[in-house]
């Protein structure tokens, strides 16, 4: 068994037994969200920051407190480093956490990260004492630079947010994993459980997903599937898989001589 | 005087102190953060922070996302 097989996930000063981070986005209501969060076994969940709706109440925060799930605020919707830094500071003030999922996207159509603004924001937030988890492109060079800037993890996308297209460039994810000295969290693009398992088999330390569960026909059941997919992929990664071979290799003994 | 509260014009009567303006507007105290003209105002300063006429005040909270 590999040394890392049953170790908890550590991001900054935080320790997690679950390697599935499930976001709260996309659930039709809080009851469906609650059932999905519980089924996923997640210990960390994302929220976004938006203007207070006086009639809306604070049901989401009450729910997360009741379930004992830690909160990872995001900077979704930010297009520039300045916007993301302000949003992160607002999140720290509102939610009393230094954790931030840093998202700085380039445009609405792709929701792909803007690498220049992302790195700039990451540097400012690290300097300001945040534990920064950047949502990044599946780019080994950018991931390395984010780590050098002091990010507590790197979170490369499998494919664009909400597409469910899975992991389009597994080799890039493997290269990020091979070089990273911080946890690698596969973030965005997961559509089904086999893709969550693949992320872990490629060597990721965790998977972050929301839409794949919250917009599934049966979110609670899909959350269970994702939990098992992540667990299976992690176990397989550290169980030492057999090498791929070109020709068949019998698993039964040679036939007896005639 | 008038301020812009979460993108809408908002009339402030009496002392333009942030804590009072938020309370009068019926905004929750827990789980929110406030920025005035693009700068975060820490909760501990709400009691003495005076708002200028025309200030842009943003009050944010956590919603489902990500």
- What the block records as the tokens of B62 is 């956590």
Q: How many CB atoms lie within 10 A of CB A168?
A: 14
**Considering A39, A84, A98, A101, which one is annotated as catalytic?**
A101
Choosing among B32, B42, B65, which should be mutated to test the A contact, i.e. which has the most A CBs within 10 A?
B65
Cα distance from A245 to chain B (closest Cα, Å)? 41
Q: Does A95 contact B31 at a Cβ distance shorter than 8 Å?
A: yes
Q: Does B60 contact A74 at a Cβ distance shorter than 8 Å?
A: no
In chain B, whose CA is at the least distance from the CA of A209? B66
Q: Where are the alpha helices (DSSP H) in chain A?
A: 30-40, 59-67, 81-95, 115-127, 140-148, 170-179, 193-201, 211-214, 219-239
Q: Does B64 contact A25 at a Cβ distance shorter than 8 Å?
A: yes
Cα distance from B60 to chain A (closest Cα, Å)? 4
Q: How far, in Å, CA of A112 to CA of A187, rounded?
A: 12
- What pLDDT, on a 0 to 100 scale, did the predictor assign at position B28? 84
In chain A, whose CA is at the least distance from the CA of B32? A94
Query: What's the pTM?
Result: 0.91
Mean pLDDT by 10 residues, chain A (258 residues): 68 94 93 96 96 77 95 96 96 96 96 97 98 98 98 97 96 97 97 98 97 96 98 95 93 90
Residue-wise pLDDT tens digits, B15-64: 899 999 998 888 888 899 999 999 999 999 999 999 999 999 999 999 99
Residues 6+ apart with CB under 8 A from B32: A52, A94, B59, B60, B61
Residue pair A78/A50 in contact by the 8 Å Cβ criterion: no
Q: How far, in Å, CA of B25 to CA of A235, rounded?
A: 53
């Amino acid at each position: 068994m590999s040394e890392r097989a049953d170790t908890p996930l550590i991001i900054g000063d935080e320790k997690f037994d679950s390697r599935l981070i499930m976001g709260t986005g996309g659930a039709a209501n809080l009851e469906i969200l609650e059932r999905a969060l519980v089924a996923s076994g997640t210990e960390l969940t994302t929220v976004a920051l938006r203007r207070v709706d006086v009639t809306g109440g604070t049901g989401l925060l009450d729910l997360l407190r009741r379930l004992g799930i830690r909160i990872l605020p995001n900077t979704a919707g930010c297009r520039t480093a300045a916007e993301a830094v302000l949003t992160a500071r607002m999140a720290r003030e509102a939610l009393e956490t230094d954790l931030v999922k840093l998202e700085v996207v380039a445009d609405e159509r792709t929701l792909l990260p803007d690498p220049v603004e992302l790195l700039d924001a990451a540097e400012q937030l690290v300097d300001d004492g945040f534990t920064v988890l950047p949502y990044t492109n599946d780019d080994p060079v950018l991931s390395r630079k984010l780590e050098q800037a002091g990010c507590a993890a790197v979170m490369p996308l499998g494919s664009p947010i909400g597409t469910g297209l899975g992991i389009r460039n597994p080799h890039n994810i493997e290269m990020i994993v091979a070089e990273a000295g911080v946890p690698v969290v596969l973030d965005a693009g997961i559509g089904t459980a086999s893709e969550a398992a693949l992320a872990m088999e490629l060597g990721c330390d965790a998977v972050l997903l929301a839409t794949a569960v919250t917009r599934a026909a049966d979110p609670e059941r899909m959350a269970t599937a994702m939990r098992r997919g992540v667990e299976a992929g992690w176990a397989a990664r550290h169980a030492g898989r057999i090498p791929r071979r070109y020709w068949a290799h019998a698993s039964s003994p040679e036939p007896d001589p005639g | 005087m008038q301020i812009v509260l979460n993108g809408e014009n908002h009339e402030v009567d009496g002392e333009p102190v942030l804590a009072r303006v938020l309370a009068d507007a019926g905004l929750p105290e827990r789980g929110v953060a406030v920025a005035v003209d693009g700068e975060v105002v820490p909760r501990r300063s709400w009691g003495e922070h005076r708002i200028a006429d025309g200030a842009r005040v943003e009050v944010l909270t956590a919603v489902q996302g990500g």
